Amino acid sequence: MAKVTLAQRRIIVSTLWDNGVHNAKSLHQLTSIPLSTIYDYIKKLKNGVTLSPLSRSGRPKKLTPKKHYYLGRLISANKYYTCAELANILNDNYTNLNVTD
């Protein structure tokens, strides 16, 4: 069976809830989601809270996935690069990044 992501779980449970399936054991049998998680979801749905994840505050990531991939490619191409050399390469290719040693 394919792995179901957390977001897909939330969508499945909220869709079943909207279609009238309000029993925790029925939701568990239909979705194979742990019963304790189903109870948490039901508690939120009864209170009118959506199952979408809350936005979290925190420091934004310096590297976007594209830049992170590029850095990984640089490292795999030459594993003997120093941190300073990698920082210089990243700063040359991405002028707004400003990576320091």
Compute the Cα dihedral for 61, 63, 64, 65 and give only its sign. negative
Q: How many domains does the chain have?
A: 2
Average confidence (pLDDT) over 67-74:
92
- pLDDT reading at 1 higher than 70: no
Average confidence (pLDDT) over 66-95:
91
Does the residue 10 lie in any domain? yes
Confidence of residue 101 (pLDDT cuts 50, 70, 90): low
Q: Kindly state the tokens that stand for 9.
A: 């779980």
Question: How much is the pTM?
Answer: 0.55
The predicted pLDDT at position 52 comes to 86
- 57, 62, 68, 71 alpha-carbon torsion, rounded to 10°: -160
Does the residue 86 lie in any domain? yes
Dump pLDDT digits (tens) for 33-62: 999 999 999 999 999 888 888 888 888 887
Range of the domain at 31: 6-46
Closest CA to 99 of 75, 63, 74: 63
Q: Kindly state the tokens that stand for 42.
A: 């039901």
Same-domain pairing of 65 and 97:
yes
Please give the Cα distance from 13 to 93 (Å, whole number): 45
